[in-house]
Amino acid sequence: MPTLIDDTIAAIATPMGRSGIGVIRLSGEDARRIAATVCGCGSNSLRDRATSLRRVRHPRTREVLDQAMVTYFRAPRSYTAEDVVELGCHGSPVVLESVMAVLLECGARLATPGEFTLRAFLRGRIDLVQAEAIRDLIEAKTLFQARVARQQAEGSLSRRLKPIKELLVRLISLLEAGIDFADDDVPVLAEEAIQEQLEPLVAGLQQLKAGFGRGRLLSAGLTVAVVGRTNVGKSTLFNTLVNQERAIVNESPGTTRDVVAEEAQLGGIPVRWLDTAGIRSSMDPVERIGIDKTREVLADADRLLLVLDGSVDLADEDRRLLEELKQQACCLVINKIDLPQRLPGEGIGPVEAPVVRVSALTGEGVETLKQVLLEDLGQGKVTQQEGALVTNFRQQERIGAALKALKRAVGAVEQGLPHEVILLDLHGALSSLNELTGETGIEDILGRIFQTFCVGK
């Protein structure tokens, strides 16, 4: 990925394909000149934050390529903090590519993935946490994901970190002043005062780190597998959970021969729901392959919904499954409560798990099942946990490193070690937080972060 930001870049900023409008974005020192050249007008005629209808022409042949709505954003009040021009062309791939070719011929360079956002970061428009949030916003699959990503792109996590960093810098300054100006009657902080100032720093980072589980779950989603023996209503429950007739439902045992997957959200969390083949002894080679795939799913899924038929007594295959899954994270679902019940609601086998009674056929109890699953994940109120969530491993690792450094500083204070030793850990914590937001020491990670962006963003 280029690190020089003096040239002018261009890219199609909307997804490829036919649409009413397709947007081409220019950013850089020559953006205004290049746009004026292809529009056959003077640079001064493109006014800041004004949109005008222009003919886009080939500068040599004067062939009209399209009519476009042209908007100019003067630096630094633009997305990249550079001069930016956006051309809203007709959304034909042929038209967009022909306009792009002319812009490149006039001096622009094709942008790399994420380069517009990279420039916004390098120009100080956003920090690294906000840049990652922009990527998350583009990739969001649920409205709640998008809302949290938007808040982070607006600086929610950065604002949460700001007072922590300010307190840390203040403590470092006081300790360094006490060392550097010890002969000039500058007071030296007592151990009790240092401990008092370290406590809110440690508490603040611990709270952020504790939110990583929620943030990671929201960002990455989870996989939930519906498992059980044949004919307990797994496929019917699966169809109800994903709200469509995705799996084939039939009274014949062994109808589901393969793992069926579908994406659907649960309380704002993206979930990959899996319907599996009924586990039983079978001589059918195709059904046995499906059963083997089910056992693979048992090991890989984040949560299991073990379905039992409440209208009959517990079968031997149910007991074997209960024994097999006693160490896994699962929820017991007693299905077919629309029929006379023979299965008790408690004390079912060795599995310690929530028990929910449902009718997959009528939908009764399914909403309760979803809520119990959220609570079992520790996310019963996940839709209220908005704002400063730590959503990726890089953020969590840097916060964890800063927290470890602060705890070492606390230990150094308790041992009565010199302030120079304490300062080493405090500077280590500050360095980790600066790497988190991208203020220092981030050259080696820029490429890894921004190469995951789409072109044009």
- Extract the tokens encoding 157: 């996590």
Please state the rounded mean pLDDT for residues 44-67: 92
Instruction: Reply yes or no on whether the pLDDT at 385 is more than 50.
Output: no
Residue 425, CA distances (Å) to 160, 419, 422 in order = 21, 10, 6
pLDDT value at residue 358: 92
pLDDT in tens, 281-303: 544 554 455 556 666 677 778 88
Q: Could you tell me which residues come within 8 angstroms of residue 15 by beta carbon, excluding any fewer than 6 positions away?
A: none
Q: List the domain boundaries for the chain.
A: 9-127, 134-211+390-438, 220-383
CATH of domain 9-127: 3.30.1360.120
pTM: 0.72
Confidence at residue 69, expressed as pLDDT on a 0 to 100 scale: 96
pLDDT of residue 249: 46
- Pairing state of beta strands 303-309 and 222-227? parallel
Please state, in angstroms and as integers, the Cα–Cα distance from residue 307 to each residue in 77, 330, 376, 377, 450, following that order.
57, 10, 16, 18, 43
Between CA 290 and CA 259 the distance in angstroms is 7
Residue 255: its pLDDT value, please?
45
CB–CB of 227/307 below 8 Å?
yes
CATH H-level superfamily of 220-383: P-loop containing nucleotide triphosphate hydrolases (3.40.50.300)
Q: How many percent of the chain have pLDDT more than 90?
A: 37
**28 confidence band (pLDDT: 50, 70, 90):** very high
Across 148-157, 233-242, 366-375, 443-452, least confident range: 443-452
**Number of residues that this document lists for the chain:** 457
pLDDT in tens, 80-136: 999 999 999 999 999 999 999 999 999 999 999 989 999 999 898 998 889 988 988
pLDDT at 381 over 50: no
Question: What is the spatial distance between Cα 223 and Cα 301, in angstroms, rounded to a whole number?
Answer: 5
List, as one string, the DSSP characters of 197-256: HHHHHHHHHHHHHHTHHHHHHHHH-EEEEEE-STTSSHHHHHHHHHTS--S---SSTT--
- Summarize the confidence of residues 184-212 as an average pLDDT: 85
User: Considering the chain, what is the average pLDDT of its residues?
Assistant: 83
CATH of region 134-211+390-438, choose from 3.40.718.10, 1.20.120.430, 2.130.10.10, 3.40.50.150: 1.20.120.430
Q: How far apart are CA 56 and CA 424, in angstroms?
A: 59
- The stretch 65-79 carries a mean pLDDT of 95
Give kind and range of the element (H or E) at residue 269: strand 269-275
Positive or negative torsion for Cα 82, 83, 88, 91 = negative
CA pair distance 98, 96, nearest whole angstrom: 5
Task: Check if the beta carbon of residue 155 is closer than 8 Å to that of residue 133.
Answer: no
